């Protein structure tokens, strides 16, 4: 018994010292990461994590219903789609054809109302908010300098980078995009209680506007610019700019760094449902127009869906791009295989949400991306 007490005492001492060291060296956010992830039985970020964070509510207005296709759910999922959905733990798969829901399927315990984490699909939403802010005169244009709004950010090129550089992922920020190390700035931004202070401490150490480099920090800084320019929280601005005008079916939630700081994690973490995520796809498909009303300038919506850099044709402004099957495809993408895939030439949109994805290759989506497209067309072709 004495030996056990001694072992327990030393374990407690070691644990206390480790916790103290985390606080001393400013790694205490790791404790929150451990509590949110490992203490809930997970090993990485997961789609149902919103209840473990402080949030702002994105309020909805008058609900607008999606039209249902005349062949709604009359065609079954293909065997290949079913096997892929099982293997990658898909929780929602939806096809919109000619502005009507053609097919939708949900995993057990999930439905069209289930709210799950958007992860980096929010980067596309932030760009839509940027375009809205430009349209409303809060921000001059894509060439507006960031230091006009956030003069605290320093570095050799701090006075040169623009809001367009942030949206197109060519910011020049000193940032290492890493999802595996708990000590990375990416992990810290996800779990820290004051990411505003963290972002304002960044430096612009590479010449901006020269080439594509995917950095979550760029979107977080852009979110702070929009907040500063509009003098509104991102959640409130999203509500009044899109959630209400587009008749979203449900209120949504945006994760914060903390209730005290109150800053939305702009680079990720809007919790919403499949049908409402699809509305953003529809907005891009119609070049910024919703039900006949231009919510964001058409020229900017078109620009977002074109590569800024010829050597990086996979990205525009806040949106991923693909030429799969020789089609011009625009898509929103999250780290666990969250997709809103828009194929304007066929007036087709595919939404997939789930727990896992295929590994991406050199900034391009993995094999799952092509499977979701192929099988959607195989199902629609059964009507011909």
Same domain as 279, residue 142: yes
For residue 25, pLDDT beyond 60? no
Question: In a 10 Å sphere around its CB, with 0-12 CB exposed, 13-18 middle and 19+ buried, how is residue 133 labelled?
Answer: buried
- pLDDT digit string (tens) for 337-373? 999 999 999 999 999 999 999 987 777 888 999 999 9
Whether residues 81 and 31 share a domain: the answer is: no
How many CA atoms are closer than 13 Å to the CA of 347, on its beta-carbon side? 8
CATH number for position 251: 3.40.710.10
Look up residue 173 and give its two tokens: 């920020």
Task: Tell me if 76 is assigned to some domain.
Answer: yes
For the chain, the straight-line distance linking the first and the last C-alpha, in angstroms and rounded, comes to 77
Domain presence at residue 376: yes
> Mean of the per-residue pLDDT values for the chain?
92
68 DSSP β-pair partners: 101
Domain match, 196 and 315 both: yes
Residue 143 resides in a domain? yes
Which DSSP category does 290 fall into? Answer: E
User: Is 298 within the bounds of a domain?
Assistant: yes
Q: Is residue 54 part of a domain?
A: no
If you average pLDDT over residues 220-233, what whole number do you get? 98
Q: Please give the average per-residue pLDDT across 139-147, as a whole number.
A: 98
Residue 6's pLDDT is: 55
Do both 28 and 94 map to the same domain? no
> Does 88 share its domain with 14?
no
Nearest in space to 116 (alpha carbons), one of 320, 309, 337: 337
Q: What is the CA angle 263-135-199, rounded to 5? A: 25
- Mark out the alpha helices in 308-359 (DSSP H runs): none
Residue 5 — very low, low, confident or very high, per pLDDT cuts 50/70/90? low
H or E, element range at 272: strand 270-272
Report whether 66 contacts 104 (CB < 8 A): no
Rounded-to-integer distance, Cα 378 and Cα 381, Å? 5
Length of the chain: 384
Query: 131 and 6 in one domain?
Result: no
Burial of 355 (0-12, 13-18, 19+ CB in 10 A): middle
Task: Calculate what percentage of the chain has a pLDDT beyond 90.
Answer: 82
Is the same domain home to 239 and 364? yes
Same-domain status, 69 and 6: no
Q: In terms of domains, do 15 and 72 share one? A: no
Placement of tokens 């004495």 in the chain = 2
pLDDT in tens, 281-336: 999 999 999 999 999 999 999 999 999 999 999 999 999 999 999 999 999 999 99
Co-location of 15 and 127 in the same domain: no
Q: Say if 50 falls within a structural domain.
A: no
Residue 33 has pLDDT above 90, yes or no: no
pLDDT at residue number 30: 73
Is 72 contained in some domain? yes
| DSSP-derived secondary structure for 204-264 | B-S-TTSS----HHHHHHHHHHHHHHHTS-HHHHHIIIIITTTT-SS-EEEEBS-TTT--B
The tally of domains found in the chain comes to 2
Question: Could you list the residue range(s) of the whole structural domain that residue 35 is in?
Answer: 2-40
User: What is the pLDDT averaged over residues 162-182?
Assistant: 91
pLDDT tens, position by position, 76-99: 999 999 999 999 999 999 999 999
Report if pTM > 0.85.
yes
Q: Is residue 47 part of a domain?
A: no
Beta bridge partners of 100: 67, 97
Residue 2 banded pLDDT, cuts 50, 70, 90: low
Does 347 lie in the same domain as 310? Answer: yes
pLDDT at 178: 80
What share of the chain in percent tops pLDDT 70? 92
The mean per-residue pLDDT over the stretch 178-190 comes to 82
272 and 142 co-located in one domain: yes
């Amino acid at each position: 018994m004495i030996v056990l007490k001694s072992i327990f005492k030393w374990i407690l001492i070691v644990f206390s010292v480790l916790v103290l060291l985390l606080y001393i060296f400013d790694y205490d956010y790791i404790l929150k990461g451990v509590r949110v992830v490992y203490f809930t039985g997970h090993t990485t970020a997961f789609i149902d994590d919103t209840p473990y964070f402080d949030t702002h509510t994105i309020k909805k207005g008058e609900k607008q219903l999606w039209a249902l296709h005349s062949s709604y759910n009359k065609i079954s999922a293909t065997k290949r789609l079913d096997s892929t959905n099982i293997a990658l733990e898909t929780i929602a798969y939806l096809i919109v054809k000619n502005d009507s829901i053609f097919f939708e399927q949900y995993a057990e315990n999930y439905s069209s109302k289930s709210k799950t984490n958007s992860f980096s699909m929010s980067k596309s939403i932030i760009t839509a908010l940027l375009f809205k802010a430009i349209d409303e005169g809060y921000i001059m244009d894509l060439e507006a300098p960031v230091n006009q709004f956030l003069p605290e950010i320093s570095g050799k090129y701090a006075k040169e980078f623009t809001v367009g550089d942030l949206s197109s992922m060519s910011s020049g920020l000193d940032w290492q995009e890493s999802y595996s190390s708990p000590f990375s700035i990416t992990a810290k931004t996800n779990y820290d209680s004051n990411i505003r202070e963290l972002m304002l401490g960044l430096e612009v150490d590479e010449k901006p506007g020269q080439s594509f480099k995917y950095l979550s920090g760029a979107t977080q800084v852009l979110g702070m610019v929009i907040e500063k320019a509009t003098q509104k929280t991102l959640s409130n601005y999203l509500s009044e700019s899109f959630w209400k005008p587009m008749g979203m079916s449900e209120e949504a939630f945006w994760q914060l760094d903390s209730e005290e700081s109150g800053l939305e994690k702009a680079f990720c973490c809007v919790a919403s449902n499949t049908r409402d995520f699809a509305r953003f796809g529809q907005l891009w498909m119609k070049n910024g127009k919703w039900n006949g009303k231009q919510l964001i300038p058409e020229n900017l919506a078109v620009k977002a869906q074109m590569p800024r850099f010829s050597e990086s044709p996979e990205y525009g402004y806040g949106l991923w791009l693909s030429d799969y099957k020789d089609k011009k495809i625009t898509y929103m993408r999250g780290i666990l295989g969250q997709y809103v895939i828009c194929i304007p030439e066929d007036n087709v949109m595919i939404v997939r949400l789930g727990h896992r994805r295929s590994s991406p290759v050199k900034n391009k989506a993995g094999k799952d991306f092509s499977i979701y497209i192929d099988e959607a067309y195989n199902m629609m072709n059964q009507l011909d």
